[in-house]
């Protein structure tokens, strides 16, 4: 299988630490998409997506440019409404529920291209992330927790978000999403544009979050090697359709995946 739209992933300098948890995937899923179809006007972006994430899992969603990864995350968090199909989260039908509702239900979405507030300081960006929380003490605890995960942010607490480097802004975007202590974290290409060292740091933090807080993570990545190395399970999207799913370690060995997404000739 060849795909002109895919890019070979950047080889990491060191492999990230794989997930250290064993989630129970025998019961009902935390998040479940059944035959989801989503459109941008007449553009049929998702053509029957079926996907599950169980509590405590890191699930990787990989695929080439335009495959529908971002659209899948947008549909889940409520930034767009699916035209047909079922979408349940924590046993509740959330199809078409707006993003502020899914956020109240413990979902946090870090969108593509890290949308931090450039005119606000690092600390202010974090505080904005906690806008649903009124308890000042709790907000401060979460800020400090964010600083513990990302010491670089603590050093730059008063720097304006817009003057942070690309990698630092990505850290800030993730730390901001963590302010609500999410049960489900949707990450859209967290490694995009980062140097190998930053990439490794981001992936290690995802693993640590999952281990420390049992946070369920749906991880969209073009850096398929790294995503598959830390994930429990994975899905492969191609032009709006789910091509493959299974244990991340099996997907990583799949020949068609290796050729299309992992840079093998
Ligand atoms: N706002 C939009 N309006 C119209 N079409 C869109 C819009 N956003 C995405 N699309 C189309 O929907 C399809 C899926 O796009 P999506 O952004 O979900 O892909 P992706 O897998 O995230 O790709 P990438 O790896 O490049 O980020 C593509 O064909 C894209 O052109
Ligand atoms: Mg995308």
Give the confidence band of 113 by pLDDT, cuts at 50, 70, 90. Answer: confident
pLDDT-above-90 percentage for the chain: 73
Q: How do strand 216-221 and strand 58-62 relate by DSSP bridges?
A: parallel
How many domains are there within the chain?
Answer: 1
Average pLDDT over residues 201-229: 93
Provide the CATH number for the domain around residue 97: 3.40.50.300
Report whether 119 contacts 161 (CB < 8 A).
Answer: yes
Amino acid 45: pLDDT: 98
Instruction: Say which DSSP state 2 is in.
Output: -
Report whether 3 contacts 64 (CB < 8 A).
Answer: yes
Helix axes 136-149, 166-178, angle to 10 degrees: 140
Q: Which ligand is nearest to the CA of 111?
A: 2
Q: How far is the CA of 68 from the centre of ligand 2 (A)?
A: 7
Q: Quick one: which H or E segment has residue 241?
A: strand 241-247
Residue 64 lies in a domain: yes
Residue 67 lies in a domain: yes
Residue 3 lies in a domain: no
Q: How far is the CA of 125 from the centre of ligand 1 (A)?
A: 27
pLDDT exceeds 50 at position 97: yes
65 lines ligand 1 (CB under 6 A): yes
pLDDT exceeds 70 at position 264: no
Residue 197 lies in a domain: yes
45 lines ligand 1 (CB under 6 A): yes
Measured from the CA of 69, which atom of ligand 1 is nearest? Answer: 21
The mean predicted confidence, pLDDT, of the chain is 90
Which one of 33, 45, 111 would you pick to mutate in the ligand 1 pocket, going by the greatest count of ligand atoms within 8 A of its CB?
A: 45
Q: How far is the CA of 73 from the centre of ligand 1 (A)?
A: 11
Amino acid 7: pLDDT: 42
pLDDT-above-70 percentage for the chain: 93
Angle, CA of 55, 56 and 61, to the nearest 5°: 90
Cα gap 248→240, rounded to integer Å: 20
Amino acid 50: pLDDT: 98
Residue 198 lies in a domain: yes
Residue 4 lies in a domain: no
Helix axes 166-178, 122-129, angle to 10 degrees: 30
Report whether 180 contacts 108 (CB < 8 A).
Answer: yes
Cα gap 15→32, rounded to integer Å: 30
pTM of the model: 0.92
Its domain, for residue 102, covers 31-116+183-261
Report whether 184 contacts 107 (CB < 8 A).
Answer: yes
């Amino acid at each position: 299988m060849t795909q002109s739209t895919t890019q070979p992933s950047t080889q990491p300098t060191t492999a990230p630490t794989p997930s250290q948890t064993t989630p129970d995937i025998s019961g009902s899923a935390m998040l479940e998409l059944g035959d989801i179809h989503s459109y941008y006007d007449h553009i049929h972006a998702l053509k029957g997506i079926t996907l599950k994430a169980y509590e405590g899992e890191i699930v990787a969603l990989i695929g080439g440019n335009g495959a529908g990864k971002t659209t899948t995350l947008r549909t889940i968090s409520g930034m767009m409404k699916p035209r047909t199909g079922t979408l349940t989260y924590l046993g509740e039908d959330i199809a078409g529920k707006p993003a502020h509702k899914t956020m109240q239900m413990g979902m946090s979405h870090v969108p593509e291209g890290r949308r931090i507030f450039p005119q606000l300081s690092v600390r202010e960006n974090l505080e904005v992330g906690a806008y649903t929380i009124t308890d000042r003490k709790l907000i401060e605890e979460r800020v400090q927790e964010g600083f513990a995960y990302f010491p670089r942010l603590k050093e730059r607490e008063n720097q304006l978000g817009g003057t942070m480097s690309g990698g630092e802004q990505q850290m800030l975007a993730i730390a901001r999403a963590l302010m609500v202590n999410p049960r489900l974290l949707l990450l859209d290409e967290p490694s995009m544009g980062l140097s190998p060292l930053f990439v490794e740091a981001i992936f290690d933090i995802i693993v640590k979050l999952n281990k420390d807080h049992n946070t369920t993570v749906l991880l969209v990545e073009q850096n398929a090697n790294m995503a598959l190395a830390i994930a429990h399970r994975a899905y492969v999207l191609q032009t709006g359709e789910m091509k493959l799913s299974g244990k991340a370690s099996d997907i990583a060995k799949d020949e068609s995946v290796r050729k299309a997404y992992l840079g093998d000739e």
